[in-house]
Amino acid sequence: MRMKSPQILMECLLEQGVDTVFGYPGGTILNIYDELELHGYKEKIRHILTSHEQGASHAADGYARSTGRVGVCFATSGPGATNLTTGIATAYMDSSPVVFITVNVGESLIGKDSFQEVDITGITMPITKCNYLVRRAEDLADIIREAFAIARSGRPGPVLIDILKNVTYDEADYEPLPVSEHFRHGRLAAMLRRASHDLRTPEPDHGDIQKLLDMIEEAKKPLVLVGGGVIRSRGAVREFRKFFERLNAPVASTIMGGGACPGNHRLFTGMIGMHGSHASNTAVDQCDLLIAIGCRFSDRVATHPATFASNAKIVQIDIDRSEIDKNVPTDHHIIGDARRVLELLNEKLPAHDYPEWKEWVFSHKEVPLKKDDILHPHEILETISDVTGGKAIIATDVGQHQMWSAQYYHFSRPGQLITSGGFGTMGFGLGAAMGAKMGNPDQTVVLCTGDGCFRMNCHELSTIEHYKIPIIIVIFDNRTLGMVRQWQHLIYGERYSQTDLDRGPDFVKLAEAYGIQGARAANQAEFEAAFRQAVESGTSWVIDCAIDKDAMVHPMVSGGAPSTDFLLD
């Protein structure tokens, strides 16, 4: 049947099961927004109008991370498109599947420095799995289908589709094509095979599986390290839990692996790396076999690659061949989807136990946490966990509050921690929390943020108020850029250059200006009372928590130092 391309776009989104889109309109994309008002599409696809395109990009990302489905974001040309780039890079670094759809100026205006013209495909080439410039309406349907397949397949990631404005006026033939038929549809199947080699992940080498099993048999002090790849691989967490329970060895996690091993599990040593626990960092220093699954050994994990796990044989399991030996040399590796690799391991892995090794690892206790009249970060996280039964989805921005959240909230399932681990994006949290709540309406969603980060995205309060998206925002308010100040205190001779936030706004009054309830807390009792009221209300709240300006994240290893050289103990 003949359709105009905006209608083809809507039909293709429905084919993919899209029910929510985040975005912001502008001149070039108006034909697509107009289509939302036609043919009943706005009844089938919810559009959330954010305050800024970056907020829309993070919301689509948060939706994807928390649901495992592909997020979708719309933006116009020029500054609308470039405002997405931080969100695109954030999704790319953390392997989050999002399709970004923009509309550029018309064909006759390309290359002429036209009003709001920008080469967004060129700009985003390094931060997308794939991107497209659509020049013909006839190509639109298959490009959309291909984009979704690439975003969700193999190692997930963002894809951008830029459509020329003149194409949005054109018609083309459209025939419905269920997702299950894509690889059997001649032209589309050829496009999919040509576009990405990892759409169908190859079977792991069974010889590589056996070699790891042999290495496990020889090991006396094994350590398992879980990363975000296990979270991203559908069904992998279930297989991962079978694996480490049968191995019965200590398990450490990167921040992106949070929730793969329950935070209160008897084998869990905690986070590893720059702000890793004593147990995790000493275990990686002394283990004789390190099995890293879905982990790329970033500089925040392997703070000093030359000495990282220097007493161990290192095994890296990853879906992406380019990650192998990129940061840390390995003794063995297995290429494949984490779920499938773990399935094959579990078929043959006998039960093990390492009582002496575990006793030694878990003898490395953390410093006792303070309890007094002021409000401490761990008390905030412990209260959130207690009140919500540990079931809340926690979104964070980036900084001290992010590390405290990873340390003190015991995540128990994948998609429960929504954080920018790879790109470290301040301003990510509120948009991501909106997306997580839209994708999980029955779950309590809490944003843990700092006063510095919250200033970067607080305009999205208008979005959560307008759409009645109930998010509880907890501000760790130390009146400074806390993590930067921590570095200045420890490394830069207490020269606190440009980190004091000795200015407004009053966050409670700001919340009230947007029609949202606000509260302040100066101690644990005040916070618990406010937080319980927020949960029971079922509405959005902003709780401004006054914490010590000099509160620090413990432990800390300096960048470039071995993992056991604790700068802050």
Name the residues annotated as catalytic: 53, 115-116, 165, 483
Which of 428, 417, 467 lies closest to 56 in space, CA to CA? 428
User: From the CA atom positions of the chain, what is the Rg in Å?
Assistant: 24
Q: How many CB atoms lie within 10 A of CB 342?
A: 28
Residue 278 is inside which H or E element, if any?
A: helix 278-286
Q: Is the peptide bond before 505 cis (omega within 30 degrees of 0)?
A: yes
Find out whether 165 and 135 touch, Cβ atoms under 8 Å: no
- Pair of tokens at residue 219: 């090991």
Alpha-carbon distance 36 to 39, whole Å?
8
Whats the size of the chain, residue-wise? 569
Crossing angle, helix 186-195 and helix 137-152, to 10 degrees?
A: 50
User: How many CA within 13 A on the CB side of residue 432?
Assistant: 31
Crossing angle, helix 85-93 and helix 53-67, to 10 degrees?
A: 20
- Pair of tokens at residue 555: 């432990």
Which of 18, 143, 23 lies closest to 69 in space, CA to CA? 18
| 525 contacts: CB under 8 Å, gap ≥ 6 | none
Alpha-carbon distance 330 to 293, whole Å?
13
Find out whether 545 and 377 touch, Cβ atoms under 8 Å: no
- Amino acid at site 346: N
Alpha-carbon distance 482 to 451, whole Å?
9
Phi, psi of 382 (to 5 degrees): -65, -40
Which of 38, 49, 41 lies closest to 19 in space, CA to CA? 41
Question: DSSP character for 77?
Answer: S
Residue with tokens 């091993």: 261
Find out whether 400 and 482 touch, Cβ atoms under 8 Å: yes
Residue with tokens 């949290």: 429
- Amino acid at site 108: S
Residue 148 is inside which H or E element, if any?
A: helix 137-152
| 40 contacts: CB under 8 Å, gap ≥ 6 | none
Residue 541 is inside which H or E element, if any?
A: strand 541-546
Sign of the torsion angle spanned by Cα atoms 100, 104, 110, 116: negative
Alpha-carbon distance 480 to 487, whole Å?
12
Helix (H, G, I), strand (E, B) or coil at 519: strand
